């Protein structure tokens, strides 16, 4: 029996390269067909006129997606962001908030400043003071680690607590006065939510009804994306063991969204995982297992305040609130004593998630 001649090394290489190339072509073909499209996401976006901008606002990254394209939008939004950043700047001597944090009183305050502080005070009151932007001083007295929460040396929590509370701002049309000299307010997060609302208003004035706006942890979506689908927000959640962070998506229906806390930042105490969060009314760490909240509401401001408030109030109160309010949805990551992490999702929200809920 005759055997075929041995194949040369170059011939073997050519066949191997051809097989690899054929495999790559097959993979691309299968991927494109699995997505129902023969073009890339960028090609689809360009074809449908999607505009994408990224940048920084008050040291936080922002992403603006919208369509269709309109003239002078970038110039208008740049001007708006610049104005908002100056309005809420905490480190600029020309900023009213900078002056408030360093002076005992401000005579003849502007109407805008009075309106802002009155709105903040009312929002804090509505949260039953579980959200308080003057509580930052409390965190100066604590250190958190994966093993414990500890009061720093020579710190009196009661002394710090005296300087917390929006009620310590005494407001009138002619004077803003602080009842406590060390009273300070931080509106960095608050300002991001207000700015998102202002950007949305500007886009709508220009006839743009489809957009996805995000600054830091806060999001506002309206309409649909360039694929005529609901805009999608990426979130992180724990795996079944509560160890590794997984990524999933929420489809947003004309709503604002905010996340507070981080389930990976916690410590164990008495067989319970607790968040690195202080109660602004006591000055001490929260005593429950709620670690992270994501809230969907009509506006990003409402979502942000509720997300932070629930992180203080706890998962049981959060689920109770979710059961009676039909204008919000939420995702909670919490730990019961002696148990692993639990993922709670509002019943109405489950069908809008890209991952299954047990």
Confidence of residue 35 (pLDDT cuts 50, 70, 90): very low
Range 95-107 average pLDDT: 91
* 3-class DSSP string for 208-266: CCEEEEEECCEEEEECECCCCCEEEEEEEEECCCCCCEEEEEEEECCCEEEEEECCCCE
Which residues partner with 213 through β-bridges? 64, 220
pTM of the predicted protein model = 0.84
Confidence of residue 244 (pLDDT cuts 50, 70, 90): confident
Tell me the HSE value of 68 on the side-chain side, using a 13 A CA sphere: 5
DSSP state of 166: G
Confirm if 145 and 287 have CB atoms less than 8 A apart: no
For the 104-186 domain, the top CATH level (class) is mainly alpha
pLDDT of res. 237: 87
Confirm if 126 and 308 have CB atoms less than 8 A apart: no
d(CA 325, CA 346): 11
Confirm if 337 and 308 have CB atoms less than 8 A apart: no
Confirm if 286 and 312 have CB atoms less than 8 A apart: yes
pLDDT of res. 348: 95
Give the long-range contacts of residues 116-124, CB within 8 A, separation 24 or more: 116/187, 117/169, 117/171, 117/176, 118/171, 120/166, 120/185, 120/187, 120/190, 121/166, 121/167, 121/169, 121/171, 123/301, 123/305, 124/166
> 333, 108, 137, 316: which is closest to 235 by C-alpha?
333
pLDDT of res. 238: 85
Confirm if 245 and 236 have CB atoms less than 8 A apart: yes
> Which tens digit of pLDDT belongs to each residue from 109-124?
999 999 999 999 999 9
**In the chain, where the domains are located:** 43-90+188-218, 104-186, 230-352
DSSP state of 50: -
DSSP state of 155: -
Tokens describing residue 200? 């949305």
> Which tens digit of pLDDT belongs to each residue from 317-352?
999 999 999 999 999 999 988 788 899 999 999 999
230-352: CATH topology: T-fold (3.10.520)
Q: Which CA distances in Å does 352 have to 107, 192, 326?
A: 50, 25, 16
pLDDT > 90: what percent of the chain?
74
Range 224-239 average pLDDT: 92
Tokens describing residue 296? 């969907």
Selected residue with higher pLDDT from 71 and 232? 232
pLDDT of res. 243: 67
> Which tens digit of pLDDT belongs to each residue from 178-198?
999 999 999 999 999 999 999
Confidence of residue 23 (pLDDT cuts 50, 70, 90): very low
């Amino acid at each position: 029996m005759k055997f075929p001649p041995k194949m040369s090394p170059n011939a073997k290489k050519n066949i191997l390269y051809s097989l690899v190339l054929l495999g790559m072509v097959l993979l691309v073909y299968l991927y494109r067909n699995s997505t129902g499209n023969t073009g890339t996401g960028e090609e689809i976006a360009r074809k449908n006129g999607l505009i994408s901008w990224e940048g920084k606002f008050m040291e936080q990254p922002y992403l603006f997606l919208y369509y269709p394209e309109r003239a002078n939008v970038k110039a208008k939004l740049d001007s708006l962001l610049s104005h908002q950043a100056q309005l809420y700047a905490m480190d600029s001597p020309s900023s009213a908030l900078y002056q408030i944090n360093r002076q005992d009183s401000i005579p003849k305050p502007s109407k805008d400043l009075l309106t802002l502080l009155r709105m903040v005070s009312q929002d804090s009151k509505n949260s039953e003071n579980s959200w308080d932007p003057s509580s930052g001083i409390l965190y100066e007295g604590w250190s958190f680690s994966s093993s414990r929460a500890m009061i720093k040396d020579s710190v009196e929590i009661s002394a710090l607590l005296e300087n917390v509370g929006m009620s310590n701002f005494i407001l009138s049309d002619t004077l803003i006065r602080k009842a406590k000299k060390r009273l300070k307010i931080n509106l960095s997060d608050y300002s991001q939510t207000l700015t998102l609302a202002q950007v949305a208003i500007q886009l709508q004035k220009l006839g743009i009804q489809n957009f996805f706006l995000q600054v830091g942890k806060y999001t506002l979506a309206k309409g649909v994306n360039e694929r005529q689908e609901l805009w999608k927000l990426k979130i992180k959640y724990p795996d079944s063991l509560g160890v590794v962070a997984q990524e999933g998506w929420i489809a947003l229906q004309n709503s604002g969204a905010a996340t507070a806390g981080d389930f990976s930042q916690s410590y164990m105490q008495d067989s319970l995982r607790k968040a690195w969060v202080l109660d602004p009314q006591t000055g001490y760490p929260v005593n429950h297992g709620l670690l992270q909240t994501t809230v969907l509401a009509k506006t990003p401001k409402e979502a942000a305040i509720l997300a932070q408030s629930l992180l203080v109030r706890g998962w049981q109160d959060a689920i109770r609130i979710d059961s009676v309010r039909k204008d919000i949805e939420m995702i909670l990551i919490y730990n019961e004593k002696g148990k692993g992490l639990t993922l709670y999702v509002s019943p109405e929200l489950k069908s809008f998630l890209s991952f299954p809920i047990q």
